[in-house]
Structure formats: C-alpha cells, structure tokens
Amino acid sequence: MIYVFLADGFEEVEALCPIDLLRRAGADVRLVGVTGRMVEGAHGIRMETDLSADEMVLDRSLEMIVLPGGMPGTANLDASAAVNDAIRFAAERGITIGAICAAPMVLGKRGYLSGRTAVCYPGFEKYLTGANISAKSVVADENFITAKGMGVAHLFGLELVGAMFGEDAVEELKQSTMM
C-alpha cells in the first residue's frame, strides 16, 4: 500500500500524475487527507481523499509514501504530526519515500537527506540539511526519491513505479503513455 499525503495547497499535477502512474502499474494507492478528508489544491481543484490522517495505519502493508509539493501544501505537510510519524516509520524500515518540488524540505529539515543526493524546487535547497544537491530533475538515493517540480511529475512518477515494480513496469508505462 502507498500513502500519498494531500494537504490544502498541494500542487495538483505533482500529486495526480504519480498517483495515476502508480495505479496504472497496479499499486494500491491511498490518498491521505492531512488537513481533512476534502483538500483543495494550490489551483483550486478540490479532491476527496480515501482517509484522513487520523485514520491512517502504519504497519507492514506500507510500501511507499509520497509527498507532493506546492504551497501552502508543503507547509501543511511539514506541520503535521501524522506525516512526521509516517516519514519516521518509513525511514526506519527502509520504505521508499518520494517527495517533489518543495516537499523534500520536509525530509531535509528532519535530517533524512543528510549525506544523500537530492533535489527540490529552486530556492528550497537551504532546507535540505546535509544533502548533496544534484542538477538532475529526479534523483533516487537508496529509499529516497526527490524531484524538482511540476514539470517533471511524470518522470518522478516513473521513478516511483520503478522503485515499486522494476524497470519492466516503467518501460510498459512509457509505451502506454506515449513517452
């Protein structure tokens, strides 16, 4: 199971593109509402989530968590005790954690990117404490996958699919999505 955390102010494309690709690949993706069951994206798109952060269960079924960026969505993720608990749970177990745009800041502020190569939306590098900042658009370093922003949401989603299902699944999606 994959949790994608959505908070008011999330960047819609950074959430929906990876969700779509992961589901096309066969993943069990659950949308977790951090600021309520109904969340509104940075550009006014409203979505109903599958569960609230209070309903989230952290157990062996968790295979990945994903943090979309956007503002104030990232700030809302950063302030959430439930998101912090999920990140800690995943990091301690080597579970894949994906973050795009401003959202790598949530990981960086907690020290999870220290000594790792990572990327984020330009201007947020100061929050990636101890990270080696890459010029690439998407970076995977062990169980952490980070990406620069909305323009690379498809590549970020494919990297998440690769971490979950392998390169054959990525190639199938590239073919079916005309990439």
**Residue 3 backbone phi and psi in degrees, to 5:** -100, 125
* Helix, strand and coil percent figures for the chain, each rounded to 5: 40, 20, 40
Q: What percentage of the chain exceeds 70 in pLDDT?
A: 99
CATH of the domain at 65: 3.40.50.880
What pLDDT sits at residue 177? 87
pLDDT digits (tens, 9 = 90+) for 2-31: 999 999 999 999 999 999 999 999 999 999
Single out the residue of 120, 113, 125, 124 nearest to residue 137, CA to CA: 120
Q: In total, how many domains does the chain have?
A: 1
**Cα–Cα distance for residue pair 121/78, rounded to 1 Å:** 16
Parts of the chain with a pLDDT under 50: none
Single out the residue of 154, 132, 152 nearest to residue 142, CA to CA: 132
* Host domain of residue 84: 2-176
Residues in CB range of 77: below 8 A, 6 or more apart: 5, 7, 34, 67, 83, 103, 106
Q: Full-prediction pTM beyond 0.75?
A: yes
Q: Around Cβ 71, how many Cβ atoms within 10 Å?
A: 14
